[in-house]
Amino acid sequence: MTRDYAKSTTKKRQRKKPTPKTVVPGWIWLLTGAFLGAFIMFLVNLSSLPNNSIESKEKTAKAPDEAPRSPPKPILDFYERFKNEEVPIQENSNKYLSINEDEKDYYFMLQVASFNSPKDAEAARVSLLLLNLDASIEKFTDKKGVTWHRVVTGPYNTRSKVAKARNTLDENNFESIRLKRPKPKHPNENQ
């Protein structure tokens, strides 16, 4: 039997429309997370408080007559102790700046650097000359036969001049070694 589909009496299946889901805005989730985080932090801080804090508050409330004790102040009587003291000053207060009697026959040099290459030694000497220091190069051969070129400043006759030169070197990032050398004897001295 043939069917007439145009006059169909069968009910068409109706699709169910999905019900619209309610979407929660993002700012509500943000606020909920912030409040939850703040509450957790409150609980953590509450648990870290000492248990006797409530008891100590009750004790302080019961005894208002007692004042809290502060640590005792240290006794500073330094000025009173040394007010009448005297400090002896040596007559030769410049003994560190002047040459001792033992050192009259010596002069001082400051060794700033030592190089294998004469070009490097010359470059260091020029930089010291720019600092207004009298610099020179000395050749030296060690026990192994290696020739070194020492860059030295000086000669200095007093310790104050050595200190001034050393201060200039320190300000310009040069390290130095103090060398003590005997003064050359003049032929006229022995007569």
pLDDT tens column, 106-153: 888 888 888 888 999 999 999 989 888 888 998 988 888 889 999 999
Topology, domain 106-182: Alpha-Beta Plaits (3.30.70)
Spans of the chain below 50 pLDDT:
191
Residue type, 152: V
Q: Are 97 and 159 in contact (CB under 8 A)?
A: yes
Q: pLDDT at position 191, please?
A: 44
**pTM tops 0.75, yes or no:** no
Is 102 in a helix, a strand, or coil? Answer: helix
Q: pLDDT at position 25, please?
A: 86
- What letter does residue 5 receive in the DSSP assignment? S
Q: What are the Cα distances from residue 156, in Å, to 143, 148, 170?
A: 28, 23, 17
Q: Which two tokens stand for residue 142?
A: 């060690």
